[in-house]
């Protein structure tokens, strides 16, 4: 198993749909992250979970809802998204040293 696995890799959804992104890490790390990567913009931190507790919510709209049921799994629930939410969503885990280990990302397109 690779270190950090994200599914689905590609997702197309309408503005009224509800979908979820899943992330799983096999590295034994205690911290997990969701980042958004849009063209021509820096990586934007969305949420941070440490030991399954949310420690950061970086002013993210409520149409994005994270869930961390245990230290190995992280979800991002999506509902009533906007076309400007189309981006690459990256999950990462960290042993707490500042080093991030990224998954391959979920490419989201909102129609």
Tell me which residues touch another protein (CB under 8 A).
40-43, 45, 48, 56, 90, 96, 98-105
DSSP state of 84: G
Structure tokens at 41: 């913009």
Closest contact distance (angstroms) between CB of 67 and another protein is 20
Q: Nearer to another protein by C-beta: 13 or 100?
A: 100
Q: Nearer to another protein by C-beta: 16 or 59?
A: 59
Q: Nearer to another protein by C-beta: 75 or 101?
A: 101
Judge whether 47 and 34 are in contact, CB under 8 Å.
Answer: yes
Closest contact distance (angstroms) between CB of 63 and another protein is 22
Structure tokens at 44: 């934007």
Nearest 5°: the CA angle 73, 98, 90 is 45
Q: Nearer to another protein by C-beta: 27 or 79?
A: 27
Structure tokens at 67: 């869930």
DSSP state of 63: T
Strand partners, 109: 12
Closest contact distance (angstroms) between CB of 111 and another protein is 21
């Amino acid at each position: 198993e690779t270190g950090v696995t994200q599914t689905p890799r590609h997702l197309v959804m309408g503005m009224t749909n509800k979908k979820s992104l899943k992330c799983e890490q096999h590295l034994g790390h205690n911290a997990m992250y969701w980042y958004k990567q849009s063209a021509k913009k820096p990586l934007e931190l969305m949420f941070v979970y440490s030991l399954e507790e949310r420690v950061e919510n970086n002013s993210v709209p409520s149409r994005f809802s994270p869930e961390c049921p245990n230290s190995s799994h992280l979800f991002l629930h999506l509902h009533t998204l906007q076309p400007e939410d189309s981006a690459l969503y990256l999950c990462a885990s960290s042993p707490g040293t500042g080093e991030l280990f990224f998954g391959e990302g979920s490419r989201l397109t909102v129609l």
